[in-house]
Amino acid sequence: MAIDCAACPLRRRGNFEAFSDKEIAFMRKFKTGEMQVDPGTLILSQGLSSAHLFTVLSGTGLRYRTLPSGERQVIQFVMPGDFLGLQAGVMHEMGHSAEATSDMVLCVFNRGDLWSLFKSMPERGYALTHLAAIQEHFLGDALATVGQRPAYEKVGWAVHNLYQRAANLGLVRNDAFDFPFRQQDLADALGLSLVHTNKTLAKLRANGVFLWRDGRITVYDQSALSKIADCDAIPRQPLPLI
């Protein structure tokens, strides 16, 4: 029933690092199952630990942090290949929650096996660290955007980023990709109000940059978009995968 790691659909469709035979054999043991969830399902919960760690096989989700005052900051739009639960794995508790926004399939690992990953398969431990470094890189970029840029550029940056990631995963067809989120989610990711986000999206639409409708984003003018996003191009190196 469960997908065999050797035939992992991610490595076939996306731009990921290759696995050695030894690594595949290890991952088969390391993987303890698969999980299928519906939209809205809470996968990890801020403040709690978790017995399981996950790699997203398909579907989309959100990571977000809730402040005691009730505000919500979306940390990341989760896509296939993302690893969820590192904080629960090595620390006492998660600093954010994760939930599905579409049907989602996740590879499941045991938190308790994490040490074996370093101990008996250092290549995999290194890959995990690599993933964490990429995450740090992305968060730094997000922080700079949220902290320093005006709304129009924020939204442009977000869509640009999402488009690049989707493209890397082979999820873009005719300059369009699925994006099953609400405007509120984007607003919470960028530190903008819902209303202002809406008006900014309208502006970008009017300018013919892109269109977000019915859970799908279509980019009409890539060069305009990357000019608005104004960020250093992401090197298209293969991503590590757990």
- Provide the binding-site residues for a copy of itself, judged by CB under 8 A: 47, 65, 67-69, 71-73, 75, 86-87, 89-93, 95-96, 115, 118-119, 122-123, 125-126, 128-130, 132-137, 139-144, 146-149, 188-191, 230-232, 235, 237
Pick 38 or 230: Cβ nearer a copy of itself: 230
Q: In what order do the strands lie in the sheet with 31-37?
A: 31-37, 104-110, 52-58, 83-84
CB of 107 to a copy of itself, least distance (A): 19
The option from a copy of itself, DNA, none interacting with 125 (CB < 5 to 8 A, set by class) reads a copy of itself
The option from DNA, a copy of itself, none interacting with 152 (CB < 5 to 8 A, set by class) reads DNA
Pick 55 or 101: Cβ nearer DNA: 101
Tell me how far apart the alpha carbons of residues 118 and 83 are, in angstroms, rounded to a whole number: 16
Strand duo 83-84 + 52-58: pairing: antiparallel
Of the candidate spans 10-18, 54-62, 160-168, 190-198, the one that interacts with DNA by CB under 7 A turns out to be 190-198
Tell me how far apart the alpha carbons of residues 183 and 210 are, in angstroms, rounded to a whole number: 15
CB of 222 to DNA, least distance (A): 21
Check binding of 5 to DNA (CB under 7 A): no
Of the candidate spans 44-52, 91-99, 189-197, 223-231, the one that interacts with DNA by CB under 7 A turns out to be 189-197
Give the list of residues 6+ apart from residue 72 with CB closer than 8 angstroms, or none: 64, 65, 66, 188
Buried/exposed code over 127-152 (b: 16+ C-beta within 10 A; e: otherwise): bbeebeeeeeeeeeebeebbeebebe
Supply 139's token pair: 């968060």
Check binding of 182 to DNA (CB under 7 A): yes
Instruction: Choose among 1, 82, 80: nearest CA to 34.
Output: 1
Reported in sequence order, the residue ranges of the chain that DSSP labels E, i.e. its strands, are: 31-37, 42-44, 52-58, 61-66, 72-78, 83-84, 97-100, 104-110, 176-178, 210-213, 216-219
CB of 4 to a copy of itself, least distance (A): 26
Pick 9 or 122: Cβ nearer a copy of itself: 122
- Judged by the rule CB under 7 A, the positions of this chain that interact with DNA are 150-152, 182-184, 191-199, 201-202
